[in-house]
Structure 1
Amino acid sequence: MPAEIKGLNEECGVFAVWGHEDAAQITYYGLHSLQHRGQEGAGIVASDGENLHLEKGLGLITEVFQEKNFDRLHGRAALGHVRYATQGDGGYDNVQPLLFRSQSGGLALAHNGNLVNAQALKSQLEAQGSILQTTSDTEVIAHLIKRSGNLPLNDRIKQALSMLKGAYALAIMTEDQLFVAQDPRGLRPLSIGQMGDGYVVSSETCAFDVVGAEYIRDVEPGEMLMINEEGIHADRFSAPIQRTTCSMEYVYFSRPDSNIDGINVHSSRKRMGKQLAQEAPIDADIVTGVPDSSISAAIGYAEESGIPYELGLIKNRYVGRTFIQPSQELREQGVKMKLSAVRGIVEGKRVVMVDDSIVRGTTSRRIVRMLKEAGALEVHVRIGAPPIKNPCYYGIDTSTTSELIAGSKSVSEIEEMIEADSLAYLSVDGLESAIGKKEESIKHGHCQACFTGSYPTEIFPNTLHPHDKEV
């Protein structure tokens, strides 16, 4: 989602193919399905069985890859990545997959998430003589694997993974093997699918539908899968811990046609809207959602409340990530190039505006103003998640409390700031209930640290921003 419309960005999306003649091309289409997870850079590494070949660049997947880019990407295996920078600079060197070559062969890595002990590991590696070429925490993983001695590669990877703290959905490819791993709490989604005799790995299941793959299962927390010509071999590098998938994957990041832990994202968002209508009812004429991720919750709110759902806000599909802004005045009006209020729908109406989050508050205020300028009599803002009060250290670009309006202001103060006639958030318990569970017997929870301040892992002091207190 463009940063001009929403205040949150997730780190990236991972996609890989093993055992298909058109592996690189399929990876391209898979990454296109995951474009919402990262828009700053994209890359694909392909293996022809003897060598690894890399093509990557800054920009959207359609900007980075043209037909000529695939001339070198031959082979039956490929690993791809789309990136939004949360750790490391947004430059070319940090675009993944990262590819490393040595006398023993090549190693390509693609990673979704964030390591909370990355700085400590970097200091340790540099003290032992390593020279880091990027500012990405993903490079740390490659150095740890290489420094694990003469063990078989799968054991070296397991040993390296045991040293990592934080969130990581990780894919590692050599000339003849693909390794897939999930952190011990499963904070970021990662799934396995099958395509003919080959296999597909994706951060979201929506990509399987696009490329014609059949979903097999999710990668389990603390699990490492080794995929090669003999098939899939499952191993563990960590004892099972209760899964705590990031709640914001359901609220905002994932596409509505994806399933996470067997739960459909659209259905979860509808339940959030229904729960929100129960917790925060209001007298109004229409309900509208802020495109795109809030539409499902808005539909749920309308169904539960009995207030008609209308397209009161329209998103311009043809505006790119950036556009010419020759003056400060036009920069302030930039949101209008992304969203438009439908005067014929909202004029003279009391509007319930459903959104998924308020991060800094500036965009919400502009949308409320836009609706009122289009003739809305009242704008009641309803948020399908609890207030985001705490930084995320697991791959979302909210690293300081000072960036978060709910970290320092009450709901009534935020209501006044965004110029809403009323404001209400979904409760923490309401969110957990709305997300749901596939099976009651599965030990499963969700990370709600950004709402509650209760982090599922240790947070290392050098991970924290100077303005934040140590957790």
Structure 2
Amino acid sequence: MCGVVGIFGRSPVAARLYDALTILQHRGQDAAGMTTLDGRRMRSARGIGLVRDVFDARLMEGLTGDVGIGHVRYPTAGLDRPDEAQPMYVNAPWGIALGHNGNLVNDGSLSEDLFNEDRRHVNTESDSEVLLNVLAHELSVHAGEGIKPSTVFAAVDGVHRRCQGAYAAVALIAGVGLLGFRDPHGIRPAVLGKRESEAGDEYIIASESVVLDILGFDLIDDLAPGESALITLDGKLHRHQSDQARSHTPCIFEYVYFARPDSMIDDLSVYKTRLRMGEKLAEKILREWPDHDIDVVIPIPDTSRTACLPLAQMLDVKYREGLIKNRYIGRTFIMPGQAERARSVRRKLNTIELEFRRKNVLLVDDSIVRGTTSRQIIQMARDAGAKNVYMASASPPVRHPNVYGIDMPAASELVAAGRSVEEVRQLIGADRLIYQDLDDLEAAVRGKNTAIDGFDSSCFNGRYVTGLADGYLEALEKKRSDAIKEQRRAAG
């Protein structure tokens, strides 16, 4: 999972891109980058680390231009090297820079096709470089001797035909303008915004609407599945719906965990969806455990707070903040490597013992993925004096790898894979474990929005909306498991 943003401005955009990336920092902590277009020249800076660590005053001064794109990276594949930070660049045709959120599931075969048929070389293990080169090749095929919006859209249609998986991308094309496009199923989010200035209209494309709110843009709408938006250098907005568009199935984990609660994604308030998750979970507890002895409900910060409050209200139980987060420690889930995630739990959270002592405590989390964080927090609650520690998850058991850009690659690393709820309960050390039902989760997210056909809930039900080649999951586990990543880091 990554964050992308593109701005077509009427004045230098580097400072606004910087602000946008800090707003999207929750979507990726591994690397950050920006590319601006100044006339026909592109200027770029990128590196490993948080936005504030990558960009200093000297770099910012060099990022001149009124149009630009930015990216924060959360690694799922590749070797975590500086050259895999985005945006990535190719110099032909015209010069293209691209930032990508998502994951291609056919990048291996595409890399071979690019080399053998398109005569293009991919230099990293990043599928984003594959996507960039497919776009570049399709542009060279369709543009002929010149380029106009219709040829750009024809090239993106070619990307949709060739690329299988999830992607929301922003791109700069020298001499043309700012391009944004979304995969045919709309798995990864992308929103389009506009604001008026004295010099003319300005546009933005971003992963989440909260960027628009803070930077002063009005939301036009979400890019539809298979839709492209091109803002040409004369300031005109062009939009195109591909005939490759399929059923609209956004990633449900955006609403469970990744997106900020103050964002709107596909005309759904992330905050409201999480409130409804808490209500549905409370209904299940009251249905299956009507005589519960819960004394207090405590959220595991931060994402579960929104769901936890209505749950406590419906159970008629006290809501308390018993776990205090060190806000200078990043999001544990998106940290690279299991060892680093495990070390960070104790550094990130501390208990308020008075809220646990001699009480039956229900801990509420947005999800339980690997189980190690849950196990540590449950032990912290016991150490703080809790009589019984119950655990509730606002989402169902994660039993399958997520292949569309979330770091759940190996089934062997998922605590619920191949295990019953009772077996998971024993492993994490809870006195009782309650999971949300998938039907309830999907109902909570959808609300009254009938425009969404369904969701990519593959990590819960194992159904992959794009389809997968035989042997893909096995190959992915060998490539992206924590053990493999640790070996690569050790090797330098």
**What TM-score do you get using the length of structure 2 for normalisation?**
0.88
CA drift at 1:106: 1.4
8 Å contact from structure 1 (residues 159, 237) kept in 2: no
Q: Which of 263, 270, 274 in structure 2 is aligned with 1:265?
A: 270
More deviation in 363-372 or 313-322? Answer: 313-322
Contact 1:382/1:424 (8 A) holds in 2: yes
The alignment status of 1:457 with 2:466, answered yes or no, reads yes
1:212-246 alpha-carbon deviations (Å, 9 max, x no partner) = 11111000001111112242111123344221111
What residue is the counterpart of 2:167 in the other structure?
168
Pick the structure with more helix per residue: 2
- Partners of 2:297 and 2:363 within 8 A in 1: yes
Asked if the contact 1:57–1:95 (Cα under 8 Å) also holds between the matched residues in 2, the reply is yes
Residue 36 (structure 1) shift = 0.6
* Among candidates 364, 367, 370, match of residue 354 of structure 1: 364
Deviation, structure 1 residue 44: 0.3
Q: Give the residue type in structure 2 aligned to 1:233.
A: H
Further displaced range: 460-469 or 86-95: 460-469
Aligned counterparts of 1:462 and 1:66: Cα–Cα separation in 2: 44
Q: Residue 461 of structure 2 aligns to which amino acid in structure 1?
A: T
Are the equivalent residues in 1 in contact too, given 2:255–2:274 (CA < 8 A)? Answer: yes
- In 1, the alpha carbon distance for the partners of 2:269 and 2:315 equals 22
Give the superposition deviation at 1:50.
1.7
Q: Any conservation in 2 of the 1:120–1:462 contact (CA below 8 Å)?
A: no
Conservation of the 8 A alpha-carbon contact between 2:226 and 2:242: yes
Aligned letter for 1:452?
N
Match of 1:403 among 409, 413, 436: 413
User: What aligned pairs does 1:6-405 form with structure 2 within 5 A after superposition?
Assistant: 11-102=1-92, 104-128=93-117, 129-148=119-138, 149-152=140-143, 153-154=151-152, 155-175=154-174, 176-196=176-196, 197-228=201-232, 229-281=234-286, 282-319=292-329, 334-405=344-415
Aligned amino acid, residue 293 of structure 1: T
Give the deviation of 1:367 after TM superposition.
Answer: 0.2
In structure 1, runs of 5+ residues without a counterpart are 1-10, 323-328
CA distance in 2, matches of 1:159, 1:352: 51
SS of alignment partner, residue 14 of structure 1:
strand
What is the CA–CA distance in structure 2 between the aligned matches of 1:124 and 1:259, rounded to whole Å?
A: 38
Give 3-state SS (helix, strand or coil) of 1:243's partner.
coil
Quickly say closer, same or farther: Cα 1:37–1:279, change in 2 above 3 A.
same
Rounded Cα–Cα distance in structure 2 between residues aligned with 1:437 and 1:233: 31
CA distance in 2, matches of 1:447, 1:112: 16
Partner of 1:7: none
Aligned residue for 1:224, secondary structure, equals: strand
Determine if contact 1:184/1:240 at 8 Å carries over to the other structure: yes
Indicate the SS of the match to 1:199: strand
State how far apart, in whole Å, the 2-side matches of 1:465 and 1:53 are.
40
Superposed displacement of residue 377, structure 1: 1.1
Question: Deviation of residue 203 (structure 1)?
Answer: 0.3
Q: Which runs of 5+ in 2 are unaligned?
A: 144-150, 287-291, 333-338, 479-492
Q: Distance in 2 between matches of 1:71 and 1:273?
A: 46
Cα deviation code 1:316-367 (max 9, x no counterpart): 1133689xxxxxx999665221101111222121111000111121111110
Contact 1:399 1:465 in 2 (8 A): no
Question: TM-score scaled to structure 1, two decimals?
Answer: 0.92
What amino acid sits opposite 2:255 in the alignment? Y
Q: Amino acid of the residue matched to residue 446 of structure 1?
A: F
Q: What is the DSSP-based 3-state SS (H/G/I as helix, E as strand, rest coil) of the residue aligned with 1:63?
A: helix
Cα displacement (A) at 1:211: 1.2
Instruction: Give 1:264's aligned amino acid.
Output: S
Residue 208 of structure 2 aligns with an amino acid whose one-letter code is E
Cα distance in 2, alignment partners of residues 133 and 385 from structure 1: 38
CA RMSD of aligned residues (A): 2.0
CA distance in 1, matches of 2:328, 2:228: 40
CA contact (8 A) 2:400 2:458 kept: yes
Shift of 1:79: 0.2
Deviation string, structure 1 residues 178-235 (Cα, Å, up to 9, x no partner)? 1111111100111011132100111011111221111110000011111122421111
- Using a 3 Å threshold, how does the CA distance of structure 1 residues 235 and 466 change in structure 2: closer, same or farther? closer
Give me the whole-angstrom Cα distance separating, in 2, the residues matched to 1:42 and 1:358. 28
Name the SS of the counterpart of 1:130 in structure 2. Answer: coil
Separation in structure 1 between the aligned mates of residue 210 and residue 330 of structure 2, nearest angstrom = 23
- How many Å separate the matches in 2 of 1:449 and 1:320? 26
For residues 438 and 232 of structure 1, do their structure 2 counterparts lie closer, same or farther at Cα, with a shift above 3 Å needed? farther
Q: 2-side partners of 1:37 and 1:29: how far apart?
A: 14
**1:406-421 alignment to 2 at 5 Å?**
406-421=416-431
Separation in 2 of the partners of 1:85 and 1:330?
14
Give CA-to-partner distance per residue, 1:354-412, whole Å, 9 cap, x none. Answer: 00111121111110010111111111100000000011110011112111111121110
Give 1:467 deviation, angstroms: 8.6
Structure 1 position 294, deviation (Å):
0.8
Distance in 2, Cα, partners of 1:130 & 1:112: 22
1:440-451 equivalences in 2 (<5 Å): 440=450, 442-451=451-460
Per-residue CA deviations over 1:126-181 (Å, capped at 9, x if unaligned) read: 22332212211111123223333442250223323321111000111113311111
Cα drift, residue 75 of structure 1: 1.2
Deviation at 1:96, TM superposition (A): 0.5
SS of the residue corresponding to residue 193 of structure 2 reads strand
Tell me if structure 2 keeps the 8 A contact 1:171–1:180.
yes
Q: Number of matched residues? A: 451
